[in-house]
């Protein structure tokens, strides 16, 4: 046993047993795991994830792997494999970010936890098993990596906290004033959390896997409870984003998870449980139960944290589910979550594209503006597509609460350019290459007069007890539009005009998407003209790419200018 679970407080034996059993099962599954070279996170990170699992399972009280020298010997193999991946710089080869200080920091965080697990182990386990050799190999790894971690830089917001937490684990292993000074230098920038409790990347994935665990570790090692306050703020915000299916909303994310319809809450088990106990929060205890209801995700992390931090093993407060109905608004993200007993709605108007005028990694690009959960029937995305200068689908520039409703607003402009003034003309025709917002050409657009054409779109979202009503109003030139409604797999359409590949058009009669005993009905007064397809915009189409969704979809179509209504309802089957 690495540390007393906690003699001063009641222990949640059922939780600890579940964690240990999950880790034992994960050790058994290593026999069928792919080689390190094919690991999705890269070989050096996977080597330490496996070593951490094996060491924790070896030391876990009451587990099948407890005291199994075979597990300790396998951990030594992975430790030696990591040592071979360490380059002359002290960083690691393998994966897409070669010799990256922050990517190496992920691995060093695991190295630091393994060293601490071994350091706290009873003398027989620490000195008379292969763990002694694991400790020696990883001590050399962390020693040789430290100079590069001290000097190295980062390239995403969350990397600052990952690198700082790796240095904190170096500090825990071996006190060093230069290491402490570098940690303080990163933390002096201030943690990038907004008034809504969202980190600047607004990503459930990076909050779960990087920022929250890093800040919890920094708070523990540096004795900085204010860093735990930051995590508590983020978790309180995340509470409002947990859906009935156990996913966390990602439509507002600025990172890769914005492309996914759902991110599981399971990886947030440790921070929710930790702060439920530490801060006495029943709502966090509820979230931790949701995170663990389908099993223990990433057992190597959870078990190591339980062994290193006795707080996690204590009994949590009684869970308190958030009340219904309720509405939460994240103003900085321009995201509204409206929950009722029969349905949950997400309304989003916070894309970065209107302001930055481009699609870019690190921006919130997702054009989905509405999602709806109705039991087993899930409307994963509603998008408005139209042909207007190739500027892509509707992305709101403003989100305004209007009584019980929510108003999304957008104004786009396209331009036709006039001849250059005599003073700007060149006989050789060699003009400046200028990007005018949708198109770039060697035409000195910035020196020309322009005739501008505008398209103004307002979508009013009015929640109802069993669904939502949409009013789509557009002012501008005549053009076709298509409202795309994409549903989660697993159901079928009843009604609508079949268009092939699981797609229907909704006309004068309603159509339903049904899953088991649940269904969402779509009806509209739109005239059905125009096209039934999604257009991603020139930023994608020029490169032959798309951000289009697949799977079952329904289209409502019409023509601008004018207004149309769409009604979405949860209906019995």
Report helix, strand or coil for 59: helix
User: Dihedral of CA 95/97/101/102: which sign?
Assistant: negative
Report helix, strand or coil for 382: strand
- Cα of 173 vs its chain's centroid, Å: 31
- The correct CATH number of 326-413+454-572 out of 2.60.40, 2.40.128, 1.10.8, 2.70.98 is 2.70.98
Over residues 209-237, mean pLDDT: 98
pLDDT in tens, 75-86: 999 999 999 999
Q: Quote the CA–CA distance of 255 and 274 in Å, as a whole number.
A: 26
Per-residue pLDDT, 357 = 83
Q: Quote the CA–CA distance of 228 and 244 in Å, as a whole number.
A: 27
pLDDT in tens, 133-166: 999 999 999 999 999 999 999 999 999 999 999 9
pLDDT in tens, 435-491: 988 889 999 999 999 999 999 999 999 999 999 999 999 999 999 999 999 999 999
Contact call for residues 216 and 164 (beta carbons, < 8 A)? no
Q: HEC string of 200-259?
A: CCCCHHHHHHHHHHHHHHHHHHHCCHHHHHHHHHHHHHHHCCECCCCEECCCCCCCHHHH
Between the two ends of the chain, the Cα-to-Cα distance in Å is 54
pLDDT above 60 (res 1): no
Q: Quote the CA–CA distance of 288 and 12 in Å, as a whole number.
A: 13
The residues, ordered by sequence, that sit 6+ positions from 84 with a Cβ below 8 Å of its Cβ are: none
Write the DSSP string, 317-353.
Answer: PPP-PPPSSEEEEETTTTEEEEEETTEEEEEE---SH
Q: Which candidate, 453, 482, 461, places its Cα nearest to that of 560?
A: 482
Q: Quote the CA–CA distance of 36 and 83 in Å, as a whole number.
A: 14
Contact call for residues 6 and 313 (beta carbons, < 8 A)? yes
Residue 6 banded pLDDT, cuts 50, 70, 90: low
Per-residue pLDDT, 96 = 58
The DSSP element (H or E) to which 478 belongs, if any, is strand 467-487
């Amino acid at each position: 046993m690495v540390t007393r679970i906690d003699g001063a407080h009641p222990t949640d034996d059922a939780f600890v047993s579940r964690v240990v059993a999950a880790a034992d099962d994960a050790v058994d599954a290593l026999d069928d795991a792919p080689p390190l070279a094919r690991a999705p996170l890269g070989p050096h990170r996977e080597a330490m994830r496996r070593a951490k699992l094996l060491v924790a399972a070896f030391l876990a009280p009451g587990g099948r792997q407890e005291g199994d020298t075979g597990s300790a010997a396998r951990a030594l193999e992975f430790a030696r494999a990591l040592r071979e991946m360490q380059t002359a710089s002290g960083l690691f080869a393998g994966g897409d970010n070669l010799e990256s200080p922050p990517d190496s920091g992920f691995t060093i965080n695991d190295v630091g936890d393994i060293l601490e697990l071994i350091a706290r182990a009873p003398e027989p386990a620490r000195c008379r098993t292969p763990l002694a050799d694991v400790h020696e190999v990883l001590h050399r790894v962390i020693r040789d990596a430290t100079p590069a971690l001290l000097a190295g830089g980062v390239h995403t917001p969350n990397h600052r906290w990952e690198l700082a937490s790796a240095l904190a684990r170096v500090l825990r292993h071996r006190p060093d004033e230069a290491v402490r000074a570098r940690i303080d230098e990163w933390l002096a920038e201030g943690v990038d959390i907004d008034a809504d409790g969202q980190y600047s990347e607004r990503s459930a994935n990076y909050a779960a896997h990087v920022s929250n665990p890093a800040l919890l570790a920094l708070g523990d090692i540096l004795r900085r409870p204010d860093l735990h306050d930051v995590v508590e703020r983020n978790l309180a915000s995340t509470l409002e984003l947990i859906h009935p299916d156990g996913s966390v909303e990602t439509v507002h994310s600025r990172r890769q998870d914005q492309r996914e319809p759902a991110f599981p809450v399971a990886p947030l088990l440790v921070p929710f449980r930790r702060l439920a106990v530490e801060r006495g929060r029943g709502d966090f205890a509820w979230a931790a139960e949701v995170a663990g209801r389908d099993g223990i995700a990433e057992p190597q992390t959870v078990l190591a944290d339980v062994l290193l931090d006795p707080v996690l093993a204590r009994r949590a407060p009684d869970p308190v589910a958030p009340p219904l109905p309720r509405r939460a608004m994240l103003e900085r993200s321009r995201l509204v979550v409206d929950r009722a007993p029969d349905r949950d709605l997400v309304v989003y108007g916070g894309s970065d594209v209107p302001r930055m005028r481009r699609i870019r990694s690190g921006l919130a690009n997702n054009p989905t503006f509405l999602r709806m959960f109705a039991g087993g029937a899930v409307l994963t995305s509603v998008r408005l597509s139209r042909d207007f200068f190739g500027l892509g689908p509707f992305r709101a520039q403003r989100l305004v609460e209007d009584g019980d409703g929510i108003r999304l607003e957008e104004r786009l402009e396209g331009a036709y350019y006039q001849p250059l003034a005599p003073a700007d003309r060149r006989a050789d025709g060699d003009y400046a290459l200028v990007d005018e917002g949708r198109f770039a050409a060697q035409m000195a657009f910035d020196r020309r007069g322009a005739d501008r054409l505008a398209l103004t779109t307002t979508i009013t979202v009015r929640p109802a007890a069993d669904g939502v009503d949409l009013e789509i109003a557009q002012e501008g030139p005549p053009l076709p539009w298509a409202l795309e409604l994409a549903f989660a797999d697993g159901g079928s359409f009843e009604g609508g005009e079949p268009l092939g590949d699981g797609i229907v058009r909704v006309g004068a009669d309603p159509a339903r998407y049904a899953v088991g005993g649940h269904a969402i009905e779509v009806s509209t007064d739109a005239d059905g003209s125009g096209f039934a397809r999604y257009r991603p915009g020139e930023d994608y189409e020029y490169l032959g790419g798309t951000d289009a969704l697949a799977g079952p979809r329904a289209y409502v179509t019409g023509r601008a200018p004018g207004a149309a209504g769409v009604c979405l309802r949860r209906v019995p089957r």
